[in-house]
Copies of this chain bind each other. A is one copy, B any other.
Amino acid sequence: MTSHGNPIGPTPRTKVRRLSARGSYDRDVIHAILDEALVCHVGFVDEDQPVVIPTIHVRIGDRVYLHGSNASRMLVRLREGVPACVTVTLLDGLVLARSAFHHSMNYRSVVIFGRAEETKGREKKMEVFEKLVEHVVPGRWADARRPSDEEINATTLVSLPITEVSAKIRCGPASDDEQDYSLPIWAGVIPLELRAAPPLADEKLASSIATPDYVTAYSRHRTKSPLVLGPVASRTAKG
């Protein structure tokens, strides 16, 4: 997958080296992956030890925001402006090739290198918190009790620019060695999806409070782009 349309970079550090046909520097592709993902994995170094922590993110324009308790080691380090890496991975399927060697996964991932900057100020932080809640559950912000000043102050908010960035995508069918296609071995893709199950209302919830539409309809928010399955999307399983 090569750049097209709306490119960012690549820079020498973000150029996809391995299987570079899978690399993309297209802004729309990168943004779509960041927007679909519910968690990212943040890498930073603490006393010479790389640390990778899962956390929630939200993209706003050309920046990705992370937040957490003021006491979080990750936020303390990020706020200092240390080199960081934010990686997002969407798993789309298991690729069963005829050979064990060519087994793979279909996925879409984004890797961002950069240094974080802290976001300060009540209004600006509130704006980002709204986008963060809406990123995870669209429609929720209007219902939830808004953060108090105390809660805003207890939360550290930082962001990284989405400039040193690359996406890597594998989609479509298995790719076997030519001579293996004649082997009598099933091959194909098992698509994977992150799906919402029916919501579980809180035990302490008054029975008069109805489940909001944005909760019951949640699974519909995570619709996949045609990008996901590529050329195998229109095929069906053989019996």
Contact = CB atoms under 8 A, between A and B. Distances in A.
Interface of A: 13, 17-18, 38-39, 41-45, 48-54, 56, 69, 71-73, 83-87, 89, 91, 94, 96-101, 103, 105, 107, 109, 111, 113, 129, 133, 136-137, 140-141, 143-148, 151, 155, 173-174, 180-181, 183-212, 215-216, 218, 229, 231-233, 235-239
A177 to B, nearest CB: 9
A236 B192 contact: no
Contacts of A109: 54
Q: Which 10 residue pairs across A and B have the least CB separation, nearest first?
A: A43-B52, A43-B50, A201-B238, A52-B87, A191-B197, A54-B89, A187-B202, A41-B41, A99-B145, A100-B144
A50 B185 contact: no
A238 B188 CA distance: 40
Given A109-B54, A129-B100, A174 B198 contact: no
A7 B235 CA distance: 48
Contacts of A185: 143-145, 209
B73 A215 contact: no
A38 B105 contact: yes
B232 A203 contact: yes
A121 B99 CA distance: 20
A19 B41 CA distance: 19
Nearest to A164: B49
Given A71-B18, A146-B100, A43 B85 contact: yes
A188 to B, nearest CB: 4
